[in-house]
Amino acid sequence: VAAPAVAAVAVAAPAVATVAPPAAPLHCPLTTLRDRLHLACFFDADSHPLARHFVRHYATVVGVRLERMTFWVHAPTTTDANGVDDPRAYATAAAAAAAEHSLHAEGVDDVRRISSRWSDKLMLNVTNEFIKALPRDRWLVFANIDEFFYFPCDMQRRIAERKTTFCADMEDRVAQSRRAVELREAPPIDEQFPVRCRIRQSLRPRGQRPTTTEKITLFLASPAGRPHRQYKSPHRLFSQYGKLGRCNNTGSFSHYTATTMYVQAIEKKLRNFRWNPTVEMDYRSQLKLLRADAPLC
């Protein structure tokens, strides 16, 4: 008797594990500019909890040397709108000392205290004088303490193409709860505020000019040996060079203001300083949004 036929069973070859190539990084440190790159920051002493996060970001993510970082800590001796001595000034002095301690602990030496009454004009004058003192071939990042800039990995190519001014769009970062929360020393700030929002882009009613959310993030101090660049406003440089000074957009940057500390900062600004109606309206809109027990986005 013939043996029964045995059906052939196809045996699948064992799966071969493949490793996907790592994704290209979204941003890179400015390695090729490292020897000529400076960072400047002018900030209110009450914002000192941001200082360590700020320094670590610009040192590691952007690649600025600690010895090329300059900070002005604003701690006025009077905070009253009429120039009258205010007891809150003592608390501000303590906050300034805390800010200086945080910066020095991170390895930053160039920390300067400013006690004059605050204004955008004061900040721009101080910054513009600093720019004038830089060698002509230096590059500058000028950021507020709550602004964390990033740069794409093709910056070397862009600079080789004679781009001398770069800008990016503000992107608000909020906590997972989507509400204003307290900033902590750890974990890293981007882990505390992982959600990306565009809060400022929707602050003003329809029909009004939107809030300016684009900022200069990096520029060459003196393109082609011409006079040093100068700030016209916190968001803009003077148009001194025509096409040569045109802004080259690099995407977005992180803006960390969805904090209880920032709520207090707005309250302080509205209490102590006189603003033009448009700016005051923006601050009041932000304050209303951050105070509300509702998701920010």
What would the pLDDT profile of 133-153 be if each residue is shown by its tens digit? 999 999 999 999 999 999 999
Q: What is the mean pLDDT of the chain?
A: 87
Cα R_g (the chain), whole angstroms: 24
Beta bridge partners of 165: 219
Quote the pLDDT of residue 206. 75
Provide mean pLDDT across the span 105-133.
93
Report DSSP letters for 142-182, one per residue. E--TTEE----TTHHHHHHTT--EEEEEEEEEE-TTSS-B-
Quote the pLDDT of residue 87. 52
- pTM for the model stands at 0.86
Q: Peptide bond preceding 187: is omega within 30 degrees of 0, i.e. cis?
A: yes
CA 272 from centre of chain: 24
- For residue 56, how many other CB atoms are within 10 A of its CB? 13
Contacts for 286 with CB less than 8 Å, ≥ 6 apart:
199, 200, 203, 257, 266
> Does the pLDDT at position 12 exceed 60?
no
Quote the pLDDT of residue 119. 83
Amino acid, res. 240:
Q
85 vs 47: which has the higher pLDDT: 47
Quote the pLDDT of residue 11. 46
212 vs 126: which has the higher pLDDT: 126
Q: How confident is the model at residue 17 (pLDDT cuts 50, 70, 90)?
A: very low
Quote the pLDDT of residue 83. 54
Lowest mean pLDDT among 5-14, 63-72, 261-270: 5-14
274 vs 154: which has the higher pLDDT: 154
Quote the pLDDT of residue 240. 60
Q: For the segment 220-243, what is each residue's pLDDT rounded down to a tens digit?
A: 999 887 899 999 988 889 866 666
Quote the pLDDT of residue 274. 81
Quote the pLDDT of residue 88. 58
